[in-house]
Every structure is written in structure tokens, then in C-alpha cells.
Amino acid sequence: MPASSFISIENLSKSYSEGAQTHAVLRDASLQIERGEFVALVGASGSGKSTLLNLLSGIDRADAGAIWVDGRNLIALNEADRTLFRRQHIGFVFQFFNLLPTLTVLENAMLPLELAGATAKEAAHKARELLALVGLGDRARSYPDLLSGGEQQRVALARALVHDPLLVLADEPTGNLDEETGAQVMELLEKLTRRAGKNLVMATHNLDNARRADRVIHVREGKLVKSGTTD
């Protein structure tokens, strides 16, 4: 049964095998997220934040439970359909930027659109717009190697938003940046997602970043134990 919330996580479990042992990362996790909401996931390393993001994006598969996004149960989709869903509706921002070193800034930003079938012209047009928004309009032809960490993460933001996704997932987006640059990037991420009316789910250790969220979820030993704000 589809849930009424825009995103509904129901009794989600995920474990990894390590030799003969099984290590549970998420246990019976449930969460409802409304359209346009910005949710921060906080918790210790290994608590299951990144795993939850991976499951939400469909790049990993849950052992049990359901994930409803805009009326579709991701758990019921096969690999190909999950890829299609991700391609069209998810934007990802990683801690280590994860730009492709062999593509230029513009090409990195164009990639999700092009993979989804847009023409090079359309994709370039949209990517340039986004790059201008993140303040890198003049670096389109540069390769990621020559950019600072903050600049690389801004390209990653452009890449995450270029295809107009329903949901932006950010995994420690400032974890690899200094405080000042991190704050600038966070500012930009929040601004762009809120302005476009997108949902943002962000895993973070940084309490300042978490405070920006509409709601903060604590992830502890695989359970979503508390919801509210950090205050």
C-alpha cells in the first residue's frame, strides 16, 4: 500500500555479511518525509546513515521493508528500473566529490542528463545554467584536478541538480572541506534545493549543517531513534 507521505520508509532492514558473521546495519527503520522537506541524518560512523541514503537512492537493496518515493516502492523495482528511477529522480552529493577526472567540469555536470537521453545541446545548456548558479560558469572547460575541494563539491551540486530530481541525497557533503568552504557549500546546497522545492536528505556529523534541516533524525545502531531538531 503506498503511504500518504512523499517518502515513506517502512520497517527497513539491511545487513552485510563478513565471512560467517552477519552485521546488521539497519534494523526495522521507519521514517516519513513530506514533499519539499529537508531532513538531516546524524549519528556515529557506521551507524547506518550512508546505508540509508544508498537504499533511498536504490544503489543498494534492502533485506526487508519498503521504501515508497512519490508513490513507487523502490524495493519492488528490479536493478534496471531502480537505475532508471535514480537517473530521473535522484541527485547525489558525495563526501569525496566523486567527479570523473577524465571529464571536464561541464561534461561532469551534463552527465546525468545525457545518461537519461537528453541531447548534448540540451544537457550543456542546462549544465551551464547550474554551473552559473554555483558560481563556476567560467570553469566549464577545466578538469576537476585543477579545482579546489570547494569548487569540486560545487560542481557535484550542479551535477546533482542538473536533471531536476525529486530528491537530493547528500552524504557528508562538507566532510572533506574546511569549515568556511563547507559552510559556503552547505549554504548553496540548501538554497538550491529549497528554491527548486526539492527534498534533501543529508547524512552528516556536522551539527551546524544539521541545524539547517527541517528535521533531524538520529541513527543509532541501525535504528532511527529520535526525530526532531538538534536544539
Partner 1 sequence: MRMPASLFKVAWSYLLAHPLQTLLMLLGISLGVAVAVSVDVANASASRAFDLSVEAVVGRSTHYISGGPSGIPDEVYANLRRAGLGLPMAPILSQYVSSPELGGLPLQLLGVDPFSEEPFRSYLYSEEAQVEAAGIGAFYAIPGAILISTNLAEQYGLSAGDLIQLNVAGTARQGIIAGLVEARDALSRRALEYLVLADLSTAQELSGRLGFLERIDLILPEEGREAALQRLEVLLPEGMQVLPAEGRSQAAEQITSAFRTNLTALSLLGLVVGLFLIYNTMTFSVVQRRQVFGTLRALGVSGREIFVLVLGEALLVGLAGSALGILLGLLLGRGAVDQVSQTINDVFFTLTVREAVLPASSLIKGGLLGLAATVLAAWVPALEAANSPPRRILSRSQLELLSTKILGRAALLGAIIAAVSAILLATLELDLVSSFACTFGVTIGLALTTPWSTQRLMPLTARLLGRAIGPLGRLAPREVSASASRTSPATAALMVAVAVTIGASLMISSFRGSVISWLDQILSNDVYGSVAGSSLAEPAVPIEPAIIAQVEAWPGVEAIHLLRNIEVDSPYGPINISANNNPNDGEEQIYVEVQGSGTEAWAAVRAGAVMISEPLANRLGLRMGDSLVLHTPQGEHGFPIVAVFRDYTSSRGSVSMWLETYRRIWDDHAVTAFSAGVEPGRDVDTIVAAMQVELNRGQFLNIRSNAGLREETLEVFDRTFVITGALQIITTGVAFVGVLSAMLALQLEKQRQMGILKAVGLSTRQLWELTLLETGLIGAVAGLLALPTGYVIAQILLQLINKRSFGWSLQMQLEAAPFIQALLIAVTAALLAGIYPAYRASRRSAAEAMRFD
For binding to partner 1 (CB under 8 A), which residues are involved? 51, 54, 57, 59-61, 79-80, 83-84, 86-88, 90, 92, 94, 98, 100-103, 107, 110-112, 114-116, 120, 145, 159, 163
In whole angstroms, how close is the CB of 137 to partner 1 at the nearest point? 21
In whole angstroms, how close is the CB of 231 to partner 1 at the nearest point? 32
In whole angstroms, how close is the CB of 33 to partner 1 at the nearest point? 20
**For partner 1, the closer CB: 14 or 218:** 14
**For partner 1, the closer CB: 25 or 216:** 25
In whole angstroms, how close is the CB of 208 to partner 1 at the nearest point? 26
**For partner 1, the closer CB: 126 or 163:** 163
**For partner 1, the closer CB: 86 or 218:** 86
In whole angstroms, how close is the CB of 228 to partner 1 at the nearest point? 28
Q: What is the 3-state secondary structure (H, E, C) of the chain?
A: CCCCCCEEEEEEEEEEEECCEEEEEEEEEEEEECCCCEEEEECCCCCCHHHHHHHHHCCCCCCEEEEEECCEEHHHCCHHHHHHHHHHHEEEECCCCCCCCCCCHHHHHHHHHHHCCCCHHHHHHHHHHHHHHCCCHHHCCCCHHHCCHHHHHHHHHHHHHCCCCCEEEEECCCCCCCHHHHHHHHHHHHHHHHHCCCEEEEEECCHHHHHCCCEEEEEECCEEEEEECCC
**For partner 1, the closer CB: 34 or 96:** 96
